[in-house]
Structure 1
Amino acid sequence: MTGFDDWLNRELEECARVVGEDVRTYVARSVASRMVNEQRAAGGPGFIELMTHLAASGVFAVSAMPDTSETVNDPSRLRALYATGLLDTPPDEAFDRITRAAAAALDAPSSAVSLVDVDRQFFKSTVGMGDLSPEQRQTPLDRSVCQYALAKGTPLIIEDARIHPVFKNHPAVLDGTVVAYLGIPLVDDEQNAIGTLCVFDKEPRLWTTGHVQILGDFASLAAERAFGPGH
């Protein structure tokens, strides 16, 4: 690469090799990730346009991701999701208290209550993601990590997604949004999972059994709120 000495170029080649990419793809994705982070921080309308062009370019193209459609499209699950009446509703302080407490308890910069629909992920509550407009409170399903926790049915624990054999290919990992992730499904009495309570970080994390237990307790509170009287 121009401006790199031989040692830096060897290191670049090794970094690309570790994640299973050629140098050109590795550099393109790294530059795109920085563009995404800077546009997200700026908070302007250019972020959506940038993501649209990056999606069309294939820079963050997904490969070898598991198929979650059977669980996501399950009629019983969808009935449980829609019965909550939570999709496309404004932020709720009851959920915001849970995400704030989860982030603080696990010392995580970001937390969310996400709801997984057939074609999208809707954020009922977020911490560490800035002030989201109504349009930014949902993402296409292919950008959802939570769908995999939902399909798994048990806690999804990712300590460093960049070297994970499956999740290194996920768009939210490729653009630098998620490196470490811990998500607990939100389930009703019939074990229908409508979404997750999750915490995540842009740096690797070692999640302990204590972390899983604590987040599980907060997820139970979020589920009680989602499925309780009035929802």
Structure 2
Amino acid sequence: MSYDPPRPAGRLLLTPQDSEAPARARRLYGLGLGERPEPALDSFAARLAGLTGTTYAMVNFIGEQAQFFAGLHAPETAPVVREDGTRAEIGRFLPRDHGFCPHVVVRRRALALGDVRDYPRFAGNAVVDDLGIRAYLGAPLLDSTGMALGTVCVADVMPRSWGREGLETIKSAAAELVVRLERQAGDGLPI
């Protein structure tokens, strides 16, 4: 597998360089993660969406070339209608240069964006226009080896004020989930 570094957009680097991507892909493979949707992770995402009152919630594993939502909660009918009349639906895969999770993984810290349009670095991201994402809250899934496997995140189509409570909720969810993932992978059990 090869890894293409991110491309600069003018002087602004939209997707951070991720030197751990190859090692992360191997770790995810060893844990049996990031290759298929997991019903238990879909349930986890649905609970997280309920806790935060958001439109979308994801358990996202970041590989070398793409992001994969092994856990996904999204409405049956996408809330955003594009100019051409189609609905902006979120699928299981996103390119690495879409969204905000690659930033969380490289930063290794939670990221709260109340209105992504207020941040020049994030306002031009494809998910803003393509999917109508206006607010994002995510935390890294840091495993026992110290590797950031991906994220637990929520997103909404309207600006949000996350506050300390939102940050604590997303960080707790990430910490809880990574322990569960490692325990179950170590026991050879399905998630």
Shorter-chain TM range is 0.7 to 0.9
C-alpha distance in structure 2 between counterparts of 1:136 and 1:186, whole Å = 21
Q: If the length of structure 2 is used for normalisation, what is the TM-score?
A: 0.77
Preserved contact between residue 159 and residue 181 of structure 1 (Cα < 8 Å): yes
Equivalent position of 1:169 in the other structure = 124
Measured against aligned partners, the alpha-carbon deviations of 1:54-99 in whole angstroms (never above 9, x if no partner) come to: xxxxxxx955234423344253x33322222112223322x22321
Matched, 1:106 2:52: yes
Structure 2 unaligned residues grouped into runs of 5+: 1-7, 78-89
Question: Between Structure 1 and Structure 2, how many residues are aligned?
Answer: 166
C-alpha distance in structure 1 between counterparts of 2:45 and 2:108, whole Å = 20
Equivalent position of 2:159 in the other structure = 204
C-alpha distance in structure 2 between counterparts of 1:205 and 1:62, whole Å = 27
Residue 29 of structure 2, aligned match among 69, 82, 92: 82
Runs of 4+ in 1 over 4 A off after TM superposition: none
Equivalent position of 1:44 in the other structure = none
RMSD, matched Cα? 2.3
Secondary structure of the residue that 1:122 maps to in structure 2?
Answer: strand
Between Structure 1 and Structure 2, the one with more strand by share is 2
Secondary structure of the residue that 1:157 maps to in structure 2?
Answer: strand
Residue 18 of structure 2, aligned match among 22, 46, 70: 70
C-alpha distance in structure 2 between counterparts of 1:115 and 1:65, whole Å = 22
Structure 1 unaligned residues grouped into runs of 5+: 1-60
Change (3 A) 1:122 1:130: farther
C-alpha distance in structure 2 between counterparts of 1:170 and 1:80, whole Å = 28
Residue 102 of structure 2, aligned match among 131, 147, 150: 147
Secondary structure of the residue that 1:154 maps to in structure 2?
Answer: coil
TM-aligned CA deviation for residue 129 of structure 1: 5.0
Q: If the length of structure 1 is used for normalisation, what is the TM-score?
A: 0.65
Secondary structure of the residue that 2:160 maps to in structure 1?
Answer: coil
Preserved contact between residue 139 and residue 152 of structure 2 (Cα < 8 Å): yes
Letter of the 2:63 counterpart: D
Residue 128 of structure 1, aligned match among 71, 74, 91: 74
Preserved contact between residue 65 and residue 169 of structure 1 (Cα < 8 Å): no
Equivalent position of 1:25 in the other structure = none
Preserved contact between residue 15 and residue 102 of structure 2 (Cα < 8 Å): no
Between Structure 1 and Structure 2, the one with more helix by share is 1
Measured against aligned partners, the alpha-carbon deviations of 1:25-45 in whole angstroms (never above 9, x if no partner) come to: xxxxxxxxxxxxxxxxxxxxx
TM-aligned CA deviation for residue 210 of structure 1: 1.0
